[in-house]
Amino acid sequence: MSCCIINCIHPHIPRGKYCEIHRSSKLCVEHGCKKGARNGSDKCKAHGGGIRCVEPGCSKSAQGKTDKCVEHGGGTRCVEPGCKKSAAGKTDKCKAHGGGARCIEPGCKKSAQGKTDKCVEHGGGTRCVEPGCKKSARSGSDKCIEHGGGLRCPHCIDWIDSRGGKAKYDNYCATCFKRHFPDDPRSIRIYEHTKEIRVRNAIIEASSTNPLFKGFVHDRSLYTGNCDCTHRRRVDHRKLIGNTILAIETDEFAHRTYDEKDEEIRYDDLYMIHSGKWIYIRFNPDVTRTQQTDIEDRIDVLIHVIEQQIERILSDENIELVEIIKLFY
């Protein structure tokens, strides 16, 4: 019989599967795998061959001359005092401390990503496949976070405005986690520190003395009516007055990192859901170089502007189909 290596015509050695040439470099028996079997087993490390980590319940392979995987302290460690990460490549340091392959751009000290010779900022690693996008693909996907890549929240993953999941919220986005697990201690922290919530509370408080503020809907999706469409755009705070929706959006840091084209698409999608008139109040709660006002003072101004716009709508003074008012931008 011939050697088990594909296309090899040499006979296998007695009581073995491989010829004299291949007996010391036999391949993993997993279908389609071309890696070498390790440490007397018939599989590569990735498929369970070789020495495994001794930590209870761990199925990863032991690294280097140790009996543990990298996660549990095996392999070569970074030599920087106090660092518990593994050394990268053939160096004695982790990537954070200068180990591994570095970006080839002059003056750049970041590590090269993936199989490229540059860091993410200079075009290394896997890039987003969306036309014209220069950002990096995230978490094993072929797109950046803004275009739907990376780890997505399991609750809103099929929504057009789905959000990225976060490990600290069990891979949910903060909004969905807060809504589905309101009694979780982490939800309480989200409630206390979200600037959008502070605006909501201010509107609710204003409604106790001014009936004009009653009827606002807070952080709920708008669905297209009478069809199975995918538009489920959220608006932070909205109120339908006649044929006009007054929408208040809390734009942290003035949405400086948001793509303008994506913002335009969002306006179009919302208009498809409600084709009447719109007034958007875009409220920036954060301090900038040109806006140093305290958030509480900003919220007072916001409440005053909301009241003004409600009165305009009730008096039919809003003529444009879409008006956008930016506060503290």
User: Residue 275: its pLDDT value, please?
Assistant: 85
Instruction: Compute the distance between CA of residue 54 and CA of residue 68 in angstroms, rounded to an integer.
Output: 6
Report the chain's mean pLDDT, rounded to a whole number.
81
Q: Is the pLDDT of residue 161 over 70?
A: no
The answer to whether residues 15 and 112 belong to one domain is no
Report yes or no on 132 lying in a domain: no
Q: What percent of the chain has pLDDT over 90?
A: 21
Mean pLDDT across the stretch 262-267?
77
Report yes or no on 188 lying in a domain: no
Model confidence at 255, in pLDDT bands (50, 70, 90)?
A: low
Instruction: Compute the distance between CA of residue 59 and CA of residue 281 in angstroms, rounded to an integer.
Output: 53
The answer to whether residues 212 and 322 belong to one domain is yes
Q: Are the C-beta atoms of 54 and 68 separated by less than 8 Å?
A: yes
Report yes or no on 186 lying in a domain: no
The answer to whether residues 63 and 114 belong to one domain is no
- Is the Cα dihedral 307, 313, 319, 323 positive or negative? positive
Q: Is the pLDDT of residue 172 over 60?
A: yes
Split into its structural domains, the chain has a count of 3
Q: Are the C-beta atoms of 278 and 204 separated by less than 8 Å?
A: no
- Is the Cα dihedral 163, 165, 171, 175 positive or negative? negative
User: Residue 191: its pLDDT value, please?
Assistant: 62
Q: Is the pLDDT of residue 273 over 60?
A: yes
The answer to whether residues 201 and 310 belong to one domain is yes
The answer to whether residues 110 and 216 belong to one domain is no
The answer to whether residues 54 and 116 belong to one domain is no
Report yes or no on 139 lying in a domain: no
Instruction: Compute the distance between CA of residue 143 and CA of residue 130 in angstroms, rounded to an integer.
Output: 7
- Backbone φ and ψ of 45, nearest 5°: -60, -40
User: Residue 226: its pLDDT value, please?
Assistant: 52
Q: Is the pLDDT of residue 263 over 90?
A: no
Mean pLDDT across the stretch 69-98?
83
The answer to whether residues 216 and 262 belong to one domain is yes
3-state secondary structure the chain: CECCCCCCCCECCCCCCCCCCCCCCCECCCCCCCCECCCCCCCCHHHCCCCECCCCCCCCECCCCCCCCCCCCCCCECCCCCCCCECCCCCCCCHHHCCCCECCCCCCCCECCCCCCCCCCCCCCCECCCCCCCCECCCCCCCCHHHCCCCECCCCCCCCCCCECCHHHCCCCHHHHHHHCCCCHHHHHHHHHCHHHHHHHHHHHHHCCCHHHCCCEEEEEEECCCCCCCCEEEEEEEEEECCEEEEEEECHHHHCCCCHHHHHHHHHHHHHHCCCEEEEEEECCCCCCCCCCCHHHHHHHHHHHHHHHHHHHHCCCCCCCEEEEEECC
pTM for the whole thing?
A: 0.47
Report yes or no on 184 lying in a domain: no
Model confidence at 239, in pLDDT bands (50, 70, 90)?
A: very high
Q: Is the pLDDT of residue 244 over 70?
A: yes
pLDDT tens-digit series, residues 94-119: 888 888 888 898 988 888 887 788 88
Q: Is the pLDDT of residue 322 over 60?
A: yes
The answer to whether residues 226 and 282 belong to one domain is yes
User: Residue 96: its pLDDT value, please?
Assistant: 81
The answer to whether residues 51 and 93 belong to one domain is no
pLDDT tens-digit series, residues 274-293: 889 999 999 998 876 666 77
The answer to whether residues 95 and 7 belong to one domain is no
Q: Is the pLDDT of residue 9 over 70?
A: no
Report yes or no on 182 lying in a domain: no
Model confidence at 12, in pLDDT bands (50, 70, 90)?
A: low
Rg (CA), the chain: 29
Instruction: Compute the distance between CA of residue 147 and CA of residue 158 in angstroms, rounded to an integer.
Output: 13
- Residue with the bigger pLDDT between 185 and 156: it is 185
CB atoms within 10 A of CB 160: 15
Q: 303: domain range?
A: 194-327
pLDDT tens-digit series, residues 189-232: 776 557 888 899 899 999 999 999 999 998 877 765 555 454 56
Model confidence at 22, in pLDDT bands (50, 70, 90)?
A: low
The closest alpha carbon to 47, from 65, 27, 63, belongs to: 27
The answer to whether residues 284 and 218 belong to one domain is yes
